[in-house]
Chain A
Amino acid sequence: MKSLKQIWLTFAGTRVGQSIFRVGLPESNLGRMQAMVSSFLLHLHPAKVHRHSLQFSYTLGLGLISLYLFLILCITGVALMFFYVPSPEHAYDNMKDLEFVVSAGMIARNMHRWSAHLMVLCVFLHMCRVFYTGGYKPPREFNWIVGVGLFVMTLVLSFTGYLLPWDQLAFWAITVGTNIAGYAPVVGKKIQFLLLGGNIVGESSLLRFYVLHVIVLPAAVVFMIAIHFWRVRKDGGLSRPGEPDVLVQQSETGPLSTSKTYGLMELARGTSPAVGLKPEDEVPVWPHLLFREILLFLATMAVVMFLSVFWNAPLEEFANPTHPPNPAKAPWYFLGLQELVAYSAFWGGVAVPALLLVALVALPYLDHQRVGIGVWFARERRVAVTIFTICVVAAVVLTAIGTYFRGPNWDWVWPWAASAVTPH
């Protein structure tokens, strides 16, 4: 009985196997590093990685988990597309079919829903992690902005998906959500009209949200993720303490001379993962990082599966444009916003979110001292950490109030009180 490895080796040694894998199953660190750079799927990784970047307590794996959730969302999303027609006549029935007619349909829908909610959460936590470890400081300013863009895209993706089941929850969450957008100065009403394709949430709104949700936004996210990962590599890998302050710069005249040929390496500029690395600090990505990545994927999958098996995605009554539920709530990640809007539509719905977004984008250019990088809550960054924490706590508290403490008529309720409405 041959072992699995022997079967693999036999196959990789054949003419066909060699043509596919280029290098066989590597037997040494050198071979494994060669495999990293010669395989399409593996070459997203560097050949070696700093030990510090492997510490789970540093990254909490949040960026990778967000990616995995996005992949699960893409796959389950495509699966769901086979059973979904974006029209008010069919959408709701399709949901029922997924639950009662399609084999494993409910699981697919549950996985999609749970992954979406978890992705909003993980992307937000990933942003917090990068902030608290100073990961946005030079040379990583631009990647922070790409990340902020991805966070916004995640919210918009989730929001556009919310309408698709065409039930009461979907209809009124989108009505409230698009009305919030309508408060933007000058262009607000136009954006609302364009987004809905009319004055009310109707047939064209559903089609628009669907197209945005299944192709426009995912394509944009894939593109931005590619840039995000590329920049992680080009900016010197994950942030870590003791990074060299002096970045390798191409000299003015350049390394080129006419007397010899030159390799691409001589044209490279800026930091690369190799800069400031001592051999004893770095380990081969295969197996150290790859193993952790696979483990993290399995863990993510397990959590999503667990939630999907035990908690179904809700489906309320068929959308009724004449009768809103009481209270009519936006999706949970907008409930902090809705709570603010309950005080003042303009300040809560437009000014505060816009200012927060501007602050997030401007952050790496305002706070650019290269201190406290690669350390959680560095003492030198007390002020920045305090300000950010206040914002995060405020967002969490407002969201919690909007989700759990607001009942009919947006009156205060205690979540454990009998009349409390279950949040979605």
Chain B
Amino acid sequence: MNKGHSPPATPAATPVPQPYHRDSRRDFIWLTLGWLASLFALAASGFATLRSLVPNVLYEPSRRFKAGRPGDYPDDTATFIEEVRLFIVRKGNSYRAMSGICPHLGCTVNPTVGKYPFLCPCHGSHFDPNGAVVSGPSPRGLAWHLVSLSKDGRLVVDMDQTVTHDKTLVIKA
């Protein structure tokens, strides 16, 4: 390969150190690409790590709860179901389900015999029969959930579906 080259005729002059300038377009492009690629690699790894912490599957109790038969709940009452912390409210033939979880800080409300039927023991939020806040720090009323009837004749509450308090399931006797 070196055939065509001849050694320099005169000894090379003492090299004068030149300050390094990154002002050529090529340097600029390579540096930009390099930095961007490095940052992207780090950001992507960071994002992937964080994303892995967001669960894709929840091993929690089902949000669809199969309650008892409509006849199990006496007329004109709110029956508390402990394992899912909700009330099945029956009025005549209409059925509704109200969450017993206080929207304030997640305590369980107690049915009371006082003026307002539901009271949160943690910070004293009071709720009226429709779950609306009467007093106390709760920012929202108690949630109402969709009630349906399963094929085997039992009430099913879907806690992922929030409805208004007047949405009822009417079951003709």
Contact = CB atoms under 8 A, between A and B. Distances in A.
Contacts of B167: none
SS class of chain B's interface: helix, strand, loop or mixed? loop
A179 B104 CA distance: 8
Contact of B54 (A194, A338, A409): A194
B136 to A, nearest CB: 8
A146 B18 CA distance: 43
A175 B60 CA distance: 15
Contacts of A410: 121-124
Interface string A173-206: 0011001100000000000011001111011100
A326 B60 CA distance: 25
Contacts of A176: 105-107, 122
Nearest to B139: A345
A198 B58 contact: yes
Given A198-B55, A199-B60, A346 B139 contact: yes
Contact of A322 (B105, B108, B124): B108
B119 interface: yes
Given A175-B106, A176-B107, A322-B83, A328 B137 contact: no
Contacts of B105: 175-176, 179-180, 328, 338, 341, 345
Interface string B101-131: 0001111100000000001111110000000
A26 interface: no
29 contacts: A175-B106, A175-B107, A176-B105, A176-B107, A176-B122, A179-B104, A194-B54, A197-B53, A198-B59, A203-B59, A322-B83, A322-B85, A322-B108, A323-B82, A323-B108, A324-B122, A327-B121, A327-B122, A328-B107, A341-B137, A342-B124, A342-B137, A344-B137, A345-B139, A348-B137, A409-B119, A409-B122, A410-B121, A410-B122
Interface string A395-424: 000000000000011110000000000000
A171 to B, nearest CB: 11
Nearest to A190: B54
Given A194-B54, A327-B122, A409-B124, A345 B104 contact: yes
Given A175-B106, A324-B122, A343-B137, 12 more contacts: A175-B107, A176-B105, A198-B59, A322-B82, A323-B108, A324-B121, A328-B121, A328-B122, A338-B123, A345-B138, A409-B122, A410-B122
Contacts of B85: 322
A196 to B, nearest CB: 9
Interface of B: 53-55, 58-60, 82-83, 85, 104-108, 119-124, 137-139
A344 to B, nearest CB: 6
A424 to B, nearest CB: 15
Contacts of A175: 105-107
Contacts of B122: 176, 324, 326-328, 409-410
B58 A324 contact: no
Nearest to A346: B139
Contact of B58 (A180, A199, A342): A199
Contacts of A193: 54
B121 A409 contact: yes
Interface string A291-334: 00000000000000000000000000000001110111000000
A323 B1 CA distance: 86
A346 B138 CA distance: 10
Interface of A: 172, 175-176, 179-180, 193-194, 197-200, 202-204, 208, 322-324, 326-328, 338, 341-346, 348, 408-411
Contact of A408 (B54, B83, B121): B121
A408 B54 CA distance: 36
Which are the 5 A-B pairs with shortest beta-carbon distances?
A326-B121, A179-B105, A342-B123, A179-B106, A322-B82
Contact of B137 (A198, A322, A345): A345
Nearest to B105: A179
Contacts of A341: 104-105, 123, 137
Contacts of B123: 338, 341-342, 410
Contacts of B121: 324, 326-328, 408-410
Nearest to A348: B137
A175 B107 CA distance: 8
Contacts of B59: 198, 202-204
B112 to A, nearest CB: 10
Given A322-B83, A346-B139, A409-B121, A194 B60 contact: no
A202 B108 CA distance: 17
Nearest to B110: A326
A295 B108 CA distance: 50
Contacts of B137: 341-345, 348
